[in-house]
Amino acid sequence: MALVCICRVGVWADVTTPPELEFIYPLGTRQGSVMVVEITGSALEGIYAPWFGPTTEVYRLESSSTESFAGWISQSPDGLQGNVRFISEDFTHATVQISVAPNTRPGFYEVRLISPHGLSNALSFWVAPHAVVAESDGDHNAPETAQPLEIPVAVNGRILKSGELDYFALEIEEPQTLEFAVIASQGRDKAHLGRTFKFEPRLQLFDTQGSWFYPDRCNRLLFSEEKEYDVFPPNRRVTYGFTKPGRYLFNICSIFNRVFNGDYSYLVRVRRVDERSPVDPLEIARLRLDAVLARSFKGPAIARVAKAEPPNEVANEGRGKAESLDRPPDESSPKSPDKITALEESEPNNGVEAAHTLALPIVVTGSIEVPGDLDYFKFKIEEDDAVHLAFEIETPEVEPPLFNPRLEILDAEGKTLLTNLGNSREEYLDLSDEGGRGAIERANPKLVGTFEKGREYYARIQDVTSTEGHPGFRYCLLARPQIPHLGEIRIWREAAKDGSDHTSDALLIDRINLAAGGAKQFTISAASEEGFDGQLAVAIAGLPTGVNAFFSSESKPNEKENARRDGLPAPPSGSRVVFMVEPDAPAMTMPRMAYMTGRPVVDGIPGEPIAGCAIPFMVVK
């Protein structure tokens, strides 16, 4: 089967309604603690156990209770143990106790709920290596009632009414830099006056030094990122360097204070941080290449290449310092570059006459330092034939939408041949007086194209707008030969019909619940990237007893959907698979993982296996 598009699929109607989860609170706890969480959702009737992932064991102890969840225990090798303690009469709320072992690795974990009707979707909670406290019950909506904290700490809190502010106090005894980060947040969108408002947590910092006229006044302090970029960053991670001891306050609220009556929750962390490590362009290039090579025709053998230490100095035709990353030659893939040069961009290079000269393959680091800044680079195709190149651009320090790099490839006459501006749009916060949200065109991080022999070309990098620029707007551009490979293997199902013929309505799935005697149809897809012209062979292992998988005929490519602006990656493609359950298949009390792996096939020759996806599967009543 040729990998050219996502096939449209049909889905048999659900026989049962599995649980659907919406919110969880609190959002985090620490190692070696017991947390009782409230989960909000729908169709929670009959739930009996939580599930923490593929290695979770679910078992039942003797119990005299008649509750559906009585005696059920879930245990994970990660050090998590849980049980259901309560289900509301309307089946929209459940209480689950989760015990976290002292040696559980810090980070995010997923929890789902199991019922006789199947497995729910996943919600996430965070396990911290330090103290996690709850927002105090009393009012701390003003500086004088701020809740005291000792760092490092994370706080579970809630915003329950419009205009609410939660204040917290810190005692700083010595100079230090602290990071304030909203680790997680949740809440329903609110429609108001024709607009949709989201819960956008924002932090504000204050000192308590007062002034000559108002000794009790709190003075607003700007976080380092606010000073640099004139806006609170979208990732909600900010820092401040404290130079004087004293009492400091910070609060958390919704952006513009426009949260209407409802339940909004957050998890905010405060900790000490050291200076950020400098960006290593060679390491970025190595990681990107290894990820691509691992999914190419003979990727796994190539992906074992190690970084040369230390990098060798090489001659540089342009300006700036250059280093190289040597890779042993691999005859199994002529597309694999054996040397990558690193170049640091330097000004002036705002026009074609001052463009840096690139020797491909190369990784270039630079910055859009001021509004309207343009960085030009030139390269010439010296090969005897046309060359297929790929350009990948990242922003290692400041993320979109604050910095959204625009990449264009020009010919010698200055005509734009390729651009990474695609059809995707990204929402952003509107910081005008009216507030709300807007949208900008999101630049695609990857660009591919074919370049003629003997021709000279230019690469131009700028911000998507001409009004933004900052020394922190750094980019990392990797220019290399194309390496035909497959994208991620995923499984999709068709969304509700809306009259559109587009397959963009297909939804990624994260679990499969199927009744005995039933069947469902899905699409397994993988994108053909950088000119991969082959087939994807898929194997499915680990299906429950009584479940069979059948591959059906694939649809022909939809040329209209497949048409994209030249230079942007092709859309995913896939084949249909039907999961059928025998009528006498036993119902399951816990999910089982079904593993889908793939192998690229080119000219009838299979390549090495590539990583696929794992889906929890349950046969229900």
How many other C-beta atoms can be found within 10 angstroms of the C-beta atom of residue 423?
11
pLDDT greater at residue 506 or residue 315: 506
CATH number of the structural domain spanning residue 108: 2.60.40.10
- 523 shares a domain with 451: no
CB under 8 Å to 320, separation ≥6 — which residues?
A: 343, 344, 345, 346, 356
Q: Are residues 300 and 221 in the same domain?
A: no
Lowest mean pLDDT among 5-19, 90-104, 286-300, 595-609: 5-19
Instruction: Tell me if 602 is assigned to some domain.
Output: yes
Q: Which of 141-150, 227-236, 252-261, 425-434 has the highest mean pLDDT?
A: 141-150
Backbone angles phi, psi at 225, to 5 degrees: -70, -35
Structure confidence by residue, pLDDT tens digits, 380-403: 988 777 889 999 999 888 877 788
Q: Give dist(CA 258, CA 238) in Å, integer.
A: 22
Question: Is 492 among the domain residues?
Answer: yes
What does the pLDDT read at residue 592? 94
Within a domain: residue 144? Answer: yes
| pLDDT tens digits along 117-147 | 999 999 999 999 999 999 988 888 889 899 9
Is the peptide bond between 401 and the residue preceding it cis, with omega within 30 degrees of 0?
A: yes
- What integer is the mean pLDDT of 304-308? 28
pLDDT at 428 over 50: no
Give, as one character, the DSSP assignment of residue 94. E
Higher pLDDT, 290 or 90: 90
| 590 and 603 inside one domain | yes
What is the reported pLDDT for 607? 87
Confidence at residue 558, expressed as pLDDT on a 0 to 100 scale: 39
The pLDDT value given to residue 329: 44
What is the CATH classification number for the domain harbouring 511?
Answer: 2.60.40
Count of C-beta atoms within a 10 Å radius of residue 370: 12
**Pair (326, 462) in one structural domain:** yes
Per-residue burial over 289-310, b if 16 or more Cβ lie within 10 Å, else e, is bbebbbbbbbbeebbebebbee
Could you tell me if 288 and 399 lie in one domain? yes
**25-29, 280-284, 394-398, 420-424, range with greatest mean pLDDT:** 25-29
Domain that holds residue 154: 131-272
- The count of domains in the chain is 4
> Strand ranges (DSSP E) for 79-175?
80-87, 93-100, 107-115, 118-119, 123-128, 131-134, 147-148, 153-159, 166-172
Peptide bond into 400 cis (omega under 30): no
Range with lowest mean pLDDT among 166-175, 491-500, 591-600: 491-500
Q: What is the SS3 assignment for 396?
A: coil
**64-78, 238-252, 279-293: which range is least confident on average?**
279-293
Angle at CA of residue 439, ends 434 and 445, nearest 5°: 150
For residue 604, what pLDDT is reported?
A: 86
Residue 325 confidence (pLDDT) above 80: no
Res 261: pLDDT: 56
Q: What is the pLDDT of residues 448-466, one digit of tens each?
A: 999 988 899 999 999 988 8
> What's the rounded mean pLDDT across residues 495-510?
57
pLDDT at 417 over 80: yes
**Same domain (yes/no): 475, 527:** no
**Quick one: average pLDDT of 288-298?**
83
Phi, psi of 333 (to 5 degrees): -140, 95
- Residue 144 is given by DSSP the state G
- Rounded average pLDDT over 254-258: 64
Lookup: tokens for 323: 């280093």
Mean pLDDT of the chain: 80
Q: What CATH number does the domain containing 164 carry?
A: 2.60.120.380
The CA-atom distances, in angstroms, between 593 and each of 23, 55, 57, 542, 619 are 25, 9, 13, 6, 12
Asked if residue 496 and residue 558 are part of one domain, the reply reads yes
Mean pLDDT of 579-607: 91
Q: Domain end: 84, 108, 128, which one? A: 128
Identify the pLDDT of residue 615: 93
Give the mean pLDDT of 329-345: 61
What residues are paired with 344 via a beta bridge? 365
Confidence at 471, pLDDT banded by 50, 70, 90: confident
At 422, the pLDDT band (50, 70, 90 cuts) reads: low
**pLDDT, position 341:** 85
CB atoms within 10 A of CB 145: 12
Percent of the chain with pLDDT over 70: 78
Of 113-117, 176-180, 438-442, the least confident? 438-442
HSE of 31 in the Cβ direction (CA atoms, 13 Å)?
11
CA-nearest of 171, 243, 139, 157 to 201 is 157
CB within 8 Å of 102: residues ≥ 6 apart:
31, 32, 79
Q: Is residue 117 domain-shared with residue 140, that is, in the same domain?
A: no
- pLDDT given at position 503: 40
What's the rounded Cα separation, in Å, for the pair 35 and 58? Answer: 19
Confidence of residue 588 (pLDDT cuts 50, 70, 90): very high
Q: What is the pLDDT of residues 205-248, one digit of tens each?
A: 999 887 666 777 889 999 988 888 777 888 889 999 999 999 99
Asked if the model's pLDDT at residue 4 lies above 70, the reply is no
Work out the average pLDDT over 274-280.
68
Question: Do 281 and 342 form a contact (C-beta atoms < 8 A)?
Answer: yes
According to the per-residue pLDDT averaged within each range, which of 16-25, 157-166, 382-391 is highest? 16-25
60 in a structural domain: yes
Residue 228 has a CB neighbour count (10 Å cut-off) of 16
Q: Which amino acid type is present at position 146?
A: A
Residues 468 and 537 in one domain: no
Average pLDDT over residues 57-73: 84
108 and 123 in contact (C-beta within 8 Å)?
A: no
Please report whether residue 557 resides in a domain.
yes
Residue 4 lies in a domain: no
Q: What is the pLDDT of residues 543-582, one digit of tens each?
A: 999 999 998 755 443 333 343 444 444 444 568 899 999 9
- The distance of Cα 58 from the centroid of its chain, to the nearest Å, equals 30
For residue 2, being part of any structural domain is answered with no
Same domain, yes or no, for 429 and 527? no
- Give the tokens for residue 349: 């290079």
Q: Long-range contacts made by residues 554-557, C-beta under 8 angstroms, separation at least 24? A: 554/1, 554/7, 555/5, 555/7, 555/8, 557/2, 557/4, 557/5
Residue 15 lies in a domain: no
Average pLDDT over residues 10-18: 50
Of 107, 128, 149, which residue sits at a domain end? 128
What percentage of the chain's residues is helix, strand, coil (to nearest 5)?
5, 45, 45
Residues 185 and 169 in one domain: yes
Q: How far is the C-alpha of 248 from the C-alpha of 171, rounded, in Å?
A: 6
- Radius of gyration, alpha carbons of the chain: 27
Alpha-carbon span 531 to 335, nearest angstrom: 12
pLDDT over 90, % of the chain = 44
Where among 80, 107, 128 does a domain terminate? 128
pLDDT score of 467 more than 70: yes
Same domain, 178 and 124: no
Interatomic CA distance for residues 40 and 44, integer angstroms? 9
Q: Residue 170 contacts by C-beta under 8 Å, 6 or more apart in sequence?
A: 148, 149, 151, 178, 247, 248, 249, 250, 270
pLDDT at 477: 93
Q: Is the pLDDT of residue 174 over 50?
A: yes
